[in-house]
Chains A and B, each alone.
Chain A
Amino acid sequence: QKEVEQDPGPLSVPEGAIVSLNCTYSNSAFQYFMWYRQYSRKGPELLMYTYSSGNKEDGRFTAQVDKSSKYISLFIRDSQPSDSATYLCAMSVGSARQLTFGSGTQLTVLP
């Protein structure tokens, strides 16, 4: 069993929809939780970062961590075609560097 599981999709939604992306994990020692966005033919870029449980909001994006259920989510409100990308969850024990990544969910937002 992988340490981090992520539904690969692909996920296709109409513009303006609310998108929910999820990851589950098995290592209870994970403390740092991140979401990276990867556009086609580009490297991943950090989108959201949270430490420990709870919610964090940044514009149209909300990251949610439920450590009791070992479950993290990324919500995108009012999705735009420019949000079309692969979203990777990532997490680590001791720092934001030594990361274990999910396999990524490919999202397409249709105009």
Chain B
Amino acid sequence: EAQVTQNPRYLITVTGKKLTVTCSQNMNHEYMSWYRQDPGLGLRQIYYSMNVEVTDKGDVPEGYKVSRKEKRNFPLILESPSPNQTSLYFCASSLFSIRALNSPLHFGNGTRLTVT
């Protein structure tokens, strides 16, 4: 089954304790992206990657890191989490080519992070 898999689904941590949220897709998609979803603010893009070793900042990148060493994986790293990073996080992937401009985003089922 074609899917985007995020782990963990739920995570509670304390301020300053480094954490990683994993994302993996099995659709051979070049493009991957991380979003956070907050009430009243909708989905906001954190980072995106157009292919292996190519990453770029989205709208709200502060406090986050990403890496793209393999095509299928795109982990999100919080080096020193703070309470304002408490949110619902989504990973998404898509085809990326000039012929696939209208290729839709496929989303994972989310990771709910609480930082105390």
Contacts from A to B (Cβ < 8 Å): 4, 6, 8, 32, 34, 41-46, 49, 51, 88, 90, 94-99, 101-104
Determine the main DSSP class of A at the interface with B: loop
Contact assessment for B4 and A101 in the assembled complex, using a CB-CB cutoff below 8 Å: no
User: A34-B104, A97-B33, A97-B94 in contact; A43/B40 too (CB < 8 A)?
Assistant: no
Would you call B104 and A96 a contact (CB within 8 A)? yes
A104, B107: Cβ atoms closer than 8 Å: no
Q: A46-B105, A96-B105 are in contact. List 15 more A-B contacts (CB 8 A).
A: A43-B92, A43-B107, A43-B109, A43-B110, A44-B43, A45-B107, A88-B43, A90-B43, A96-B104, A97-B103, A97-B105, A101-B42, A101-B43, A101-B44, A104-B42
Residue numbers of B with Cβ under 8 A of A are 4, 31, 33, 39-45, 48, 90, 92, 94, 96, 101-105, 107-110
Bound form: Cα–Cα A101–B35 in Å: 11
Residues of A near B43 (CB, < 8 A) are 44, 88, 90, 99, 101
Write out the residue numbers on chain A whose beta carbons fall within 8 Å of the beta carbon of B108. Answer: 43
Whole-angstrom distance between the Cβ of B18 and the nearest chain A Cβ: 25
A-B contact count (CB 8 A): 59
Q: How far is the CA of A97 from the CA of B49 in the complex (A)?
A: 11
For residue B103, which residue of chain A has the nearest CB?
A96
